[in-house]
Structures are given as C-alpha cells and as structure tokens.
Amino acid sequence: MTVLFGQLFTGISIGAVLLLIALGLALTFGQMNVINMAHGEFIMAGAYTTYVLQQSITGAGWSLVVALPVAFVVAGTMGVLLEILLIRRLYARPLDTLLVTWGVSLMLQQLARDVFGSPNVQTRAPELLTGNVALPGGLTIANNRLFILALALAAVAALTLALRLTPLGRRIRAVVQNRDLAAVSGIPTARVDRTTFFIGSGLAGLAGVALTLLGPIGPTMGTNLIIDAFLVVVVGGIGQLKGSVIVAFALGVLQATGEYLTTLSVAKVIVFVAIVAFLQWRPQGLFTLRTRSLA
C-alpha cells in the first residue's frame, strides 16, 4: 500500500505540473484556434524571472512570493505583444500560426542564450519547500510537489470562477462558442482575444516559477514541455478546461506507473500509445463544446 500511494502521489504531482503548463494553452488554443509553439518560451520567461528576482531579493521565500505575480505579468505581456504584432494577422490560419510561433520560440531561445548564457542555471528553493512531509506507513511527500499541486488547483479554481462569474468570463465563453455571433452582438472580440492571450500566457509564467522548484532552468526548457501540454489540451477536448484537468492527472498517474514498472523511456511510449488509441476512438477529445449548430 505504501508503494501504491507513493506512486499515486507521484502521478498526481506530475499531473499538477502538466496541468499548470497546459492551463494557459487550453485557454488560448481553445478560444482562438492558435497553435502557439512559443508557449514553452513563456514558461521559460517565468522561470528566468524567478532567477533574476533572486539576484536582488536575498530571501528565497520572498523572491518566490514576488516572482509569482511578476512572472504572470511578464509572460502575459509577452503574449499580448505576440498577439498584436503577429497572431492578429493570422486568425483562421492555424498552420501559419504554428510556423510563425515556432520561429518566435527559436528567437526567444536565442535571446535567452545571449542574456543568460547557454548553461542551465539553478534557483534557490525556500527552506519551507525543501523538506518532506512524513505520513503514516513510511510514506513521504515532497513539500515542493505539494506546493505545485496547490498552485495548480488554485489556478484552476481562479480561472473557473473568472470564466463563470465575471463579465469578462462570459465574453470569453461567448467568443469560444461562436465568434461571429459574439462580434455582431457587440462583444469586442479583438479586445477579448488580447485579454485571453494575456491570461493564458501569464499562466505559463506561473508554470515557469513552479518548475524552478524541480530543477535547473535553461533556454530550451520550454521545448521539452510544449508537446505534453498540447497532448493534454487535445485529449481533454479543445477549449474544455475540465477535460484538461482530468487528462493532466490521468496522464501523470499513467506515466508514474509506467516509470515504476519499466523505465522512463518506455513509460513515455506507453503514454503516447494510450493517447493515440484514445484519439482513434474519440478524436474530438474527452469533452466537446455543445452548440445549437446544425453543421
């Protein structure tokens, strides 16, 4: 039972990381149909924001607290600039957005190398997040993993409440369901798109802050994460937040189980095969958007 609960929590913690990475992508990809390959570099921007702040704020705990809102704003601003300068001209052309944002991601990676250097850098974790929590039965849970899980759940709760209870959330949902009808109804879709891109990119910045607690950061850290994020969004259902939550934790548990029974490489193959099999059975994803369209 100890091994079972240990692997279960490992899977949940992996799922929390996947969820934080994919949360913003679910918002932008679902609403705007933009394949943003630079999303990983917004994660990198959030991670490097934490690194920069630790150079001026001596306390690791305070620097982490400050880094969360600052990284959100930094990554969100980068997303808005990308939307204004490039994405705005490529709506309804998803393959073009893929190519353009892939080029932007390469440019941002090179910019990070020029500013911070090619070698990975390490940030200091607060002392409170460096230990473990001992549970009955000899089970231990890492504090940093618990923090990431709490951060992911808080982000999901805040985003869900914003989408359901605020005027901005209602406008976002209207644009997701029918962009043309929302536009003729008086909703400023361009402004909603910019706001959505800011929130989605800002969530990527939060994911970057969280990832600094798990290991070193480098210019290519986003490239290693973006594919997993897209898989979570696609399998969960385009634009379906609850689908992304369920799939992120399911894939995390599946990967943790595969790593325990086999190796890391084989576990990745198992997860990929499971995703392909699921999409063959249900290509629209776990959840779909209900509309009154007859098309």
Query: If you count DSSP H runs as helices and E runs as strands, how many of each does the chain have, helices first?
Result: 11, 2
Whether the pTM exceeds 0.75: the reply is yes
Per the DSSP assignment, residues forming a β-bridge with 217 are 121
**DSSP, res 118:** S
How far is Cα of residue 283 from the mean position of the Cα atoms in its chain? 22
* CATH number of this structure's domain 1-281, picked from the four choices 1.10.3470, 3.40.50, 1.10.860, 1.10.4160: 1.10.3470
Closest listed residue to residue 166, CA positions, set 184, 189, 190, 192 = 192
> Which pLDDT belongs to residue 295?
40
| Helices marked H in 212-240 | 223-236
The set of residues, in sequence order, having a beta carbon less than 8 Å from that of 263 and lying 6+ positions away, is: none
Burial class (CB in 10 A: 0-12, 13-18, 19+), 124: middle
In the chain (295 residues long), the average pLDDT of successive 10-residue segments reads: 75 87 83 83 94 87 92 94 88 83 93 92 87 76 88 92 90 82 87 90 92 90 85 84 89 86 85 89 78 45
> Which pLDDT belongs to residue 291?
53
Per the DSSP assignment, residues forming a β-bridge with 135 are 139
Q: Three-state SS for 215?
A: coil
**DSSP, res 37:** T
Dist. CA 179–CA 159, nearest whole Å: 20
Give me the residue spans of the domains in the chain: 1-281
Dist. CA 210–CA 149, nearest whole Å: 10
